Chain A
């Protein structure tokens, strides 16, 4: 597979992202009361979605690693955690942009906000645990921690929800509080961001793979 500017995937993804931005900007209607600032919602939700998707991948890859012990599954968990951190950071940054004009505060201790922040901390802790020399024990311990984190997420969410909630619940079991055109824009964003996730994951996996190959070759050379 070709990489960078030579890769057709890169250009396809760029094109879809441009379409996505066009849809968000011009196709989806401007929200009546919130105005233009509501547009950040499409980026906010999509990156939060990828953050959670990445967490699921970390969990699955961690379980697989403990089971099969293949280097690839550990790479997958690490790469997914790194990309998840980036997207969760985007969620945490786009949230206040909307919250300040609408809630009149940059931050509030709502369950979703709190859970997202805790999730961010866990991602960072996980990456810190994986960091340094990639020994077998580090990978194994990181996999255990990845599983603990995923067990912890629902605990954090439900305990904080029990405590209080003011976050708008856009997607409920009864449907969505969005106009059809907004729905199109939202689903497109979610899809595009998921594709971006897969694309980035692929690149990172490749780079981790190369890193390990270089290390192996070095070891062979100086053996």
Chain B
């Protein structure tokens, strides 16, 4: 088992190194994310809606859209020169590849959120006096975890189909609905400081995350076959 995780870690490091060598994709995604956040906050400002109440919804919809770009990257970078086959040969186990790509996607997503989430917080002018920051961060982390897990699994599917880039969000969003629900309610509860009332939703997030982190062990062999 340690050998398994060592291989996961090595591929993960390789991906990170590769990503920071040419930061254009990461930067474009970041710019897209900040723009999303700006457009949403600005649009809500125009209709003079109680913006602080819509913060959880806007936050997660922005993260979802940003994730479409961020998560498509994990397998797409292995498309040229048969890199995917080489990686499979080198690692010997398909689930190693899944977990490495999952960790990579999660890291990228969290890095993007470090910028985008505070920005949205400022734009929307959240009254965070009663907010439970740790619970909020926990919700963001668990939400991103599930997003990265499902995204990596489905990206493994769409990357093999030529001209199927558009399919990725179409496949992704219906599967993410329970996550969206749990994440938004947790975020809302964290903001008003009533975490007791929403702690059940945190469990839902944990169950969802575990399910879609373990399910690929069974399914990912079929995804990357052949």
Which A residues are closer than 8 A to B by beta carbons? 66, 114, 118, 121-122, 124-125, 128-129, 132, 136-138, 140-141, 143-145, 147-149, 151-152, 155-156, 159-160, 162-163
Contacts and interface: CB of A to CB of B under 8 A. Distances in A.
13 contacts: A121-B173, A129-B157, A129-B167, A132-B161, A137-B226, A141-B160, A145-B157, A148-B153, A148-B154, A148-B215, A152-B177, A159-B182, A163-B181
A151 B204 CA distance: 15
B153 to A, nearest CB: 7
A125 to B, nearest CB: 5
B171 interface: yes
Contacts of B226: 136-137, 140
Of all A-B residue pairs in the complex, the 4 with the closest CB atoms, nearest first, are A121-B174, A159-B178, A155-B178, A122-B174
Contact of B219 (A121, A122, A125, A144): A144
B171 A145 contact: yes
B131 interface: no
Given A137-B226, A141-B157, A151-B211, A125 B174 contact: yes
Contacts of B153: 148
Chain A CB within 10 Å, residue with most, of B153, B171, B211, B219: B171
Instruction: Tell me the interface secondary structure of chain A in the complex.
Output: helix
Given A125-B174, A152-B175, A162 B200 contact: yes
A162 B199 CA distance: 13
A152 B175 CA distance: 6
A115 B223 CA distance: 26
A51 to B, nearest CB: 15
Contact of B177 (A137, A151, A156): A156
B71 to A, nearest CB: 15
A149 B175 contact: yes
B194 to A, nearest CB: 16
Given A148-B175, A155-B208, A140 B167 contact: no
B100 to A, nearest CB: 19
Give the size range of B's interface with the partner.
Answer: 20 to 34
Interface string B190-226: 0000000000100010001001000100010011011
A124 B208 CA distance: 23
B170 interface: yes
Given A114-B177, A144-B223, A155-B208, 9 more contacts: A118-B174, A140-B225, A141-B161, A144-B222, A148-B175, A149-B174, A151-B211, A159-B181, A163-B181
A125 B171 contact: yes
A158 to B, nearest CB: 8
Contact of B174 (A152, A159, A160, A163): A152
A118 B175 CA distance: 8
B147 to A, nearest CB: 14
Contacts of A147: 219
A160 B204 CA distance: 11
Contacts of A136: 226
B113 to A, nearest CB: 23
Contacts of A152: 174-175, 177-178
Nearest to B205: A159
Contacts of B154: 145, 148
Contacts of B177: 114, 118, 152, 156, 159
